Amino acid sequence: MAWEPCTSSTIRIGDCCTPRTRQDGASMLSGLLAKAGRAARHRPRRARRRGKQVTRTRGEEIAPVDQVVLLNEHGEACGTQDKTAAHHQDTPLHLAFSCYLFNSQDQFLLTRRADSKKTWPGVWTNSCCGHPGLGEDMVTAVRRRLRQELGVSATDVTLILPTFRYRARMDDGMLENEMCPVFRAWTDSEPAPDPMETAETHWVDWEPFVQQVRSGDRAVSPWCSMQITALSHCGVTPKLWPRGDETQLPAACHVASGR
């Protein structure tokens, strides 16, 4: 499940290119946002539902459309694509995030993905995953996704692993291919998960959970397993994990958040 570099052909959507400087990256994202705005003016009227884009045609509501931000090998935004259409046997590199949620007892929220999920259905994993929208601040995206998936409000959303990236393939050939910064967050709320996203949740003690994953006694998603290894190097106490360096985030995150 080790990742391998993507070729430009796997990420080329429309006018995809590789800027040479961060200023070029900023110009590219500005162009993409402007292009998206122009396209929106020519599409049917849209509404918002739970952070997703919903198309309305003649009074009828169509299924929400999630977009992923496509990336080049430098982590710069080079386009967008519908999430469902983007995930297949040759999934292009795109931007995502993972979050590890803790409560006041320092317990970690372990979740099981809904059985209807296209990728790794029914698998136990970290608290929450998601995809920021084009131009959306990463912390804002994490908070949004925690509300959508788990019905919780989070405090102290902190970047921990800014450079995490992985590539993993399911038995049926489905590929996941993400630059996926990892965040830690805290909540005093009990989860009320959306069953279309999350089948089960359990609060667990962190250190025994890590030991079970690393020994192979507990099966989790491939990205969660790799993240657990990386987080173990941050220390055994999650509240003492050092804050990640935001300047090491993928360039698309810098432009999106203005950091």
Domain shared by 229 and 117, yes or no: yes
Single out the catalytic residue among 76, 176, 178, 197. 178
Domain shared by 50 and 116, yes or no: no
Domain shared by 78 and 183, yes or no: no
> Is 234 annotated as catalytic?
no
- Measured in whole angstroms, the distance separating CA 235 from the mean position of its chain's CA atoms is 23
- 107: domain range? 94-257
User: Tell me: the pLDDT tens digits for 19-66?
Assistant: 344 455 555 555 565 555 555 444 444 444 444 444 333 333 333 448
User: Tell me: the pLDDT tens digits for 72-105?
Assistant: 999 999 999 999 999 999 999 999 999 999 999 9
Domain shared by 132 and 202, yes or no: yes
Domain shared by 248 and 120, yes or no: yes
What's the structural domain count of the chain? 2
Domain shared by 192 and 113, yes or no: yes
Domain shared by 208 and 234, yes or no: yes
Counting beta carbons within 10 angstroms of the beta carbon of residue 184, is it exposed (0 to 12), middle (13 to 18) or buried (19 or more)? buried
pLDDT at 33: 59
pLDDT at 66: 84
User: Tell me: the pLDDT tens digits for 115-155?
Assistant: 999 999 999 999 999 999 988 999 999 999 999 999 999 98
Name the nearest CA neighbour of 5 among 82, 92, 84.
92
> Is 6 annotated as catalytic?
no
Single out the catalytic residue among 78, 99, 129, 224. 129
Query: Is 3 contained in some domain?
Result: no
Of the candidates 86, 116, 150, which is a domain's last residue?
86
Domain shared by 143 and 219, yes or no: yes
Domain shared by 181 and 250, yes or no: yes
User: Tell me: the pLDDT tens digits for 177-213?
Assistant: 999 999 999 999 999 999 999 999 999 999 999 999 9
Q: What average pLDDT does the structure give for the chain?
A: 82
